[in-house]
Amino acid sequence: MPSDPVPAKVPGARSQWQTLKDLLPHLWPADRPDLRRRVVLAMVCLFAAKGAIVVVPLLYKQAVDALTLTGAAGGPPPEIVVPVFIILAYGAARVFSLSFQELRDFFFAKVGQRAIRQVALGTFKHLHGLSLQFHLDRQTGGLSRVIERGTKAIDTLLSFALFSILPTFVELGFSVAILWALYGIEVAAITLVTVSSYIVYTYRVTEWRLQLRREMNESDQQANTRAIDSLINYETVKYFANEAHEAARYDVGLRAYETAATASKTSLSILNIGQAAIIAAGVTALMLLSAMRVAEGTMTAGDFVAVNAYMMQLAQPLNFFGFVYREVKQSLVDMETMFQLLKVDTQVKDSPSAPDLHLQGGRIEFKNVHFAYDSERQILRGIDFAVPPGHSVAVVGPSGAGKSTLSRLLFRFYDVTEGRIEIDGQDLREITQASLRRAIGIVPQDTVLFNDTIGYNIAYGNPTVGPAEVERAADLAHIGSFVRGLPKGLESLVGERGLKLSGGEKQRVAIARTILKAPAILLFDEATSALDTQTEREIQANLREVSRGRTTLVIAHRLSTVVEADEILVLEAGQIVERGRHADLLAAGGVYAAMWQRQQEAEKGPAEDSVHSPV
């Protein structure tokens, strides 16, 4: 087993532009011209919506002027000469603006949802493609929160940034241009200063708040990870009566989150007060300037109303812009870690031209294999052995000798530091990992089951089979009668990590799914070491049936389980110190014989020479 593994390297903080750059290909997919057309149509609708809304104050002005002039001229009653056309145009402009906004969302909805799905799926696939070392160094609860927040952040970013920030700037540009053309540079200047001050203030305060948001996220992730870890290890907590200890550890994360969240809420109030003050100052300045011009006779009452209508119309998206900007910045923070995961390098890779494994019997060979999890501790030193097709080889030795490392190298969770591992003469580094793992079946010491049904867990060995094949595999693994005795049979849930089943039942489920996989090579990694003697004997009989005629590598601690192996390798400090059959090794009186004697004395029972081996 690895000791003090080197943490997987995660790239450092990335710029927000880089995060956006990673997202853009999903919004403009090269292989989907239909989605590109949707993006173009959505943008056309966006500009059309803003074009319609910016003429509303002008129509409002004309209506006010028409009514004011009618009353001033002492003409007929207003109800007779109401500017119906202008009012209808005013209403139509608002309807058109809203309709184009809805059409914009209609066209873009499929693009946005596909982008979210593609990024989430890509991250999930990438995590499965990363090395075992990465997952040993990371906590699953933290990773799940990263993906959850990241995908939600994409939805927020698309909802707000693309169709809120951009339209706001389009509307601001249109409005400022109209105000300058109709009312001069003073009105346009006040508008620009107000908008610029608002944006600068929002930017600076939000940047400050981002650090608070990061601290809040880290505290939330830490608390959530501790909670999940504690609940998964529920029984261990109960064994040691450490509920109070776990609550205290969880509260450390909650307290940190409380502090960061309080600071975040306080800073939000500061931001909102400043934004309101800037908008109020701009509106007041425009009203004073317009009122003086009306008094001078250079502007009409309709112009006064129009200028204020423009500013109030701009104030609405500006206020919304403040909220949107905060949400977008926070979304970028949440997306940052998820996209960092996508940049983590896959340590064990297939070469682009790697062929599939071509099985010709399943001969395994370790040739002068050296391996180290890190440069400071060598695990394996010059391992040489072969397992001929249809034969069995057992590897025994004390804890820390490197036995389980052999299984990890055989599955190519790691690449050897030096030497070669071959199957039927093919170097594992030169074939695809998928084909390699399809050829090997494993029954591990700790069988971890999915929180699903017994049938699902058995069928996991070959998800394409039907219920009949699953039942047959269960019978071959001698768990069929147990399953049929359950109220829901194969549909019975096994619980988190299979906690509703006993150790022997879980092992039989593992055997059943290995039977369904029908591999050419079998690996038993301490498959019965955690079981009681009677259950171990029953499981050993099952394993012996499964392994008949297959190339089998057995990693064991209990020597009584390997006495019938074709060859036994004794591993010590990463080296093979003895090899041979059981009787020969006992006769040699070396390391194996001493281990055998100690285990026999520890068990304080009859010698287990008669115990059948799975091989």
Show me where the domains of the chain are located. 16-343, 358-439+519-615, 449-518
- pLDDT confidence of residue 65: 76
DSSP 5-59: PPPPP------HHHHHHHHHHHHS-TT-HHHHHHHHHHHHHHHHHHHHHTTHHHH
Residue 200 binned pLDDT confidence (cut-offs 50, 70, 90): confident
- pLDDT confidence of residue 139: 58
**pLDDT(71) > 60:** no
- pLDDT above 90 covers what percent of the chain? 17
Task: Look at 108 and 163; give whichever has higher pLDDT.
Answer: 108
- pLDDT confidence of residue 364: 94
**Cα distance between residue 501 and residue 474, in whole Å:** 15
115-118's contacts with Cβ under 8 Å and 24+ in sequence apart are 115/23, 115/26, 115/27, 115/154, 115/158, 116/151, 116/154, 116/155, 116/158, 118/26
What's the average model confidence in pLDDT over 254-266? 85
- pLDDT confidence of residue 593: 92
579 near 569, Cβ under 8 Å? yes
Domain 16-343: CATH architecture, name and number where available: Up-down Bundle (1.20)
Q: Is the pTM of this model over 0.75?
A: no
Domain 449-518: CATH architecture, name and number where available: 3-Layer(aba) Sandwich (3.40)
- Amino acid (one-letter) located at 501: L
312 near 283, Cβ under 8 Å? yes
**pLDDT(550) > 80:** yes
Residue 80 binned pLDDT confidence (cut-offs 50, 70, 90): very low
Query: CA-CA distances (angstroms) from residue 523 to 1, 311, 511?
Result: 16, 74, 11
Residue 1 binned pLDDT confidence (cut-offs 50, 70, 90): very low
E strand residue ranges, 503-600:
521-525, 551-555, 567-572, 575-580
**Cα distance between residue 590 and residue 420, in whole Å:** 29
- pLDDT confidence of residue 358: 93
Which of these ranges, 37-51, 203-217, 526-540, has the smallest mean pLDDT?
Answer: 526-540
**pLDDT(533) > 90:** no
For 527-537, b/e burial (b = at least 16 CB within 10 A) is bbebbeeebbb
Task: Name the CATH superfamily, with its identifier, for domain 358-439+519-615.
Answer: P-loop containing nucleotide triphosphate hydrolases (3.40.50.300)
Write out pLDDT tens, residues 460-497: 889 888 899 999 888 888 888 888 998 898 899 888 77
Residue 425 binned pLDDT confidence (cut-offs 50, 70, 90): very high
What's the average model confidence in pLDDT over 40-69? 80
16-343 and 358-439+519-615 in the same fold: no
Q: What average pLDDT does the chain have? A: 81
DSSP code for 119 = H
* Cα dihedral 59, 64, 67, 73 sign: negative
